Amino acid sequence: MGGLRGGPMDAPVDPPAGGPIQLDALGSRGAFRARNRLTVADVTGQPVAELSQVPRLFVQRGLSALRAAGPAGSGALAEVIARAGHAFANGTVGGLSAPEYQRLVSRVSGVPVAVVRSATARIERAAAEVDRTVRCARPTATVDHWRDPRTRGGGAVWARRGDVFAVHAAGNHPGVHGLWLEALVLGYRVAVRPSGREPFTPHRLVTALREAGIGDDRLLLLPTDHHVADDIVRGADLSLVYGGDAVVEKYRAHPNVLTQGPGRSKILLADVDTGVGAGLSSALDTMVASIRDEGGVACVNATAVFVAGDPAPVAEAIAERLAGLPSLPPEDDKAVLPVQPTADARRLEKYLLGQADGATLWLGGDGIVDELGDGSAVLRPAVIQLDRPDAPQLGTELPFPCVWVAPWSPKDGVGPLRNTLVLTVIGRDERLVERLVDEPSISNVHVGHHPTHWMAPGVPHDGYLAEFLMRSKAVIR
Amino acid sequence: MAVASDPVLTFPPDQVPDPEEFIQAAMRWHFGPETGSPYWLRRARTLDFDPRRDVRTFDDLRLFPNIVNELRDVPARDLIPQGYGPSTEVIGVYESGGTTGAPKRVAYLADWMDRYVTWSTGRMDERGHPRDAHWLAMIPSGPHLWGEVVARQARRRGGFTSTIDLDPRWVKKCIAEGRGDEAGRYVEHLLAQGEFLLETQDIGVLVITPPLLERLAQHEHLVKLVNEKIQVIIWSGAHMDADSRHLFRTEVFPDVQLFGNYGSTMILCGAVERAGSEDECVFDPFAPHISFSVVDPETGQPVPYGARGQVVMNHVSRSALLPNNLERDVATRIRPEAGQLGDSVADVSPVRTFDDEVVIEGVY
For A324-350, the pLDDT digits (tens) are 999 999 999 999 999 999 999 999 999
- pLDDT attached to residue A6: 37
What's the first-to-final CA gap in chain A, in angstroms? Answer: 72
Mean pLDDT of B58-77: 95
Please tell me the distance from the alpha carbon of residue A58 to that of residue B116, in angstroms, as a whole number: 35
Phi (first) and psi of residue A441, to 5 degrees: -85, 5
A304 touches chain B (CB under 8 A): no
Confidence band for B102, pLDDT divided at 50, 70 and 90: confident
Mean pLDDT of B190-207: 97
Rounded (to 5) percent helix, strand, coil in chain A: 35, 25, 40
| Alpha-carbon distances of A255 from A237, A240, A244, rounded to whole Å | 10, 11, 18
Q: With 80 as the cut, is the pLDDT of residue A13 above it?
A: no
Over pLDDT 90: what percentage of chain A? Answer: 86
B199 touches chain A (CB under 8 A): no
Q: With 50 as the cut, is the pLDDT of residue B358 above it?
A: no
User: Residue A394: which of A427, A423, A426, A434 has the closest Cα?
Assistant: A423
Mean pLDDT of B337-355: 79
| Alpha-carbon distances of A372 from A11, A297, A342, B52, rounded to whole Å | 11, 19, 9, 63
Which amino acid would we find at residue B43? R
Residues in B 308-327 with any Cβ partner in A closer than 8 A: none
How do beta strands B344-350 and B321-334 pair? antiparallel
B242 touches chain A (CB under 8 A): yes
Over pLDDT 70: what percentage of chain B? Answer: 96
Rg of chain B in Å (alpha carbons): 21
Length of chain A: 477
- pLDDT attached to residue A16: 52
How do beta strands B308-316 and B321-334 pair? antiparallel
Mean pLDDT of B24-38: 97
B243–A34 CB contact, under 8 Å: yes
CA angle A283, A288, A294 (to 5 degrees): 135
Going A464 to A465 to A468 to A472, the CA torsion angle's sign is negative
Q: With 60 as the cut, is the pLDDT of residue B289 above it?
A: yes
A34–B218 CB contact, under 8 Å: no
Q: What is the DSSP letter of A320?
A: H
- Residue A258 CA neighbour count, 13 Å, CB half: 20
Beta bridge partners of A259: A241
Residues of B in contact with A351 (CB under 8 A): 360
Q: B103 and B311 in contact (C-beta within 8 Å)? A: no
Contacts of B250 (CB under 8 A, 6+ apart): none
Please tell me the distance from the alpha carbon of residue B68 to that of residue A79, in angstroms, as a whole number: 65
Lowest mean per-residue pLDDT among A13-27, A424-438, B332-346: A13-27
Please tell me the distance from the alpha carbon of residue B189 to that of residue A331, in angstroms, as a whole number: 55
Residues of A in contact with B243 (CB under 8 A): 34-36, 54-55, 57-58
- pLDDT attached to residue A277: 61
The CA distance from A428 to the nearest CA of chain B, in Å, is 32
Please tell me the distance from the alpha carbon of residue B362 to that of residue B150, in angstroms, as a whole number: 52
Q: What is the DSSP letter of B327?
A: E
Going A179 to A184 to A188 to A191, the CA torsion angle's sign is positive
Residue A353: alpha-carbon gap to chain centroid:
25
Q: What is the DSSP letter of A446?
A: E
Q: A44 and A375 in contact (C-beta within 8 Å)? A: yes
Please tell me the distance from the alpha carbon of residue B326 to that of residue B302, in angstroms, as a whole number: 12
* Candidates B182, B224, B364, partner chain A, best to mutate (most A CBs within 10 A): B364
Please tell me the distance from the alpha carbon of residue B262 to that of residue B274, in angstroms, as a whole number: 11
| Region class of B128: left (phi > 0), else alpha (psi between -120 and 50), else beta | left
Q: A78 and A126 in contact (C-beta within 8 Å)? A: no
- The angle that helices A226-235 and A56-68 make with each other, rounded to 10 degrees, is 20
- pLDDT attached to residue A17: 60
Mean pLDDT of B108-131: 96
Which amino acid would we find at residue A105? V
Mean pLDDT of A389-416: 95
Going A331 to A337 to A340 to A346, the CA torsion angle's sign is negative
Peptide bond into A47 cis (omega under 30): no
Which of B279, B360, B363 minimises the CB distance to A347? B360
Mean pLDDT computed over every residue of chain B:
92
Over pLDDT 90: what percentage of chain B? Answer: 79
Residues of A in contact with B251 (CB under 8 A): 29, 61
User: Residue A411: which of A389, A434, A436 has the closest Cα?
Assistant: A389
Please tell me the distance from the alpha carbon of residue A222 to that of residue A53, in angstroms, as a whole number: 8
Decide: helix, strand or coil at residue A408: strand
Q: With 60 as the cut, is the pLDDT of residue A2 above it?
A: no
Mean pLDDT of A16-22: 78
- pLDDT attached to residue A3: 36
Please tell me the distance from the alpha carbon of residue B360 to that of residue A396, in angstroms, as a whole number: 10
Q: B269 and B242 in contact (C-beta within 8 Å)? A: no
Please tell me the distance from the alpha carbon of residue A212 to that of residue A105, in angstroms, as a whole number: 22
Which of B242, B356, B361 minimises the CB distance to A245? B361
Q: With 90 as the cut, is the pLDDT of residue A125 above it?
A: yes
Confidence band for A11, pLDDT divided at 50, 70 and 90: very low
Residues of B in contact with A35 (CB under 8 A): 241-243, 246, 279
Mean pLDDT of A242-246: 90
B244 touches chain A (CB under 8 A): yes
Phi (first) and psi of residue A447, to 5 degrees: -100, 125
Confidence band for A12, pLDDT divided at 50, 70 and 90: very low
Q: With 80 as the cut, is the pLDDT of residue B220 above it?
A: yes
Specify the higher pLDDT residue, B100 or B307: B307
Q: What is the DSSP letter of A330?
A: T
Q: Which helix (H) or strand (E) segment is A193 a member of? A: strand A189-193
Please tell me the distance from the alpha carbon of residue B172 to that of residue B105, in angstroms, as a whole number: 19
Mean pLDDT of B202-213: 96
Mean pLDDT computed over every residue of chain A:
92
pTM of the model as a whole: 0.89
* Candidates A39, A57, A353, partner chain B, best to mutate (most B CBs within 10 A): A57
Please tell me the distance from the alpha carbon of residue B149 to that of residue B201, in angstroms, as a whole number: 22
Q: A266 and A365 in contact (C-beta within 8 Å)? A: no
Q: With 80 as the cut, is the pLDDT of residue B353 above it?
A: no
Confidence band for A87, pLDDT divided at 50, 70 and 90: very high
Which amino acid would we find at residue A106? S
Q: B362 and A244 in contact (C-beta within 8 Å)? A: yes
A56–B214 CB contact, under 8 Å: yes
Please tell me the distance from the alpha carbon of residue B225 to that of residue B239, in angstroms, as a whole number: 24
Confidence band for A380, pLDDT divided at 50, 70 and 90: very high
Q: B234 and B206 in contact (C-beta within 8 Å)? A: yes
Q: What is the DSSP letter of B302?
A: B
Specify the higher pLDDT residue, A288 or B356: A288
Beta bridge partners of B136: B162, B206
Q: With 60 as the cut, is the pLDDT of residue A126 above it?
A: yes
Q: With 70 as the cut, is the pLDDT of residue A62 above it?
A: yes
B360–A56 CB contact, under 8 Å: no
Q: A424 and A451 in contact (C-beta within 8 Å)? A: yes
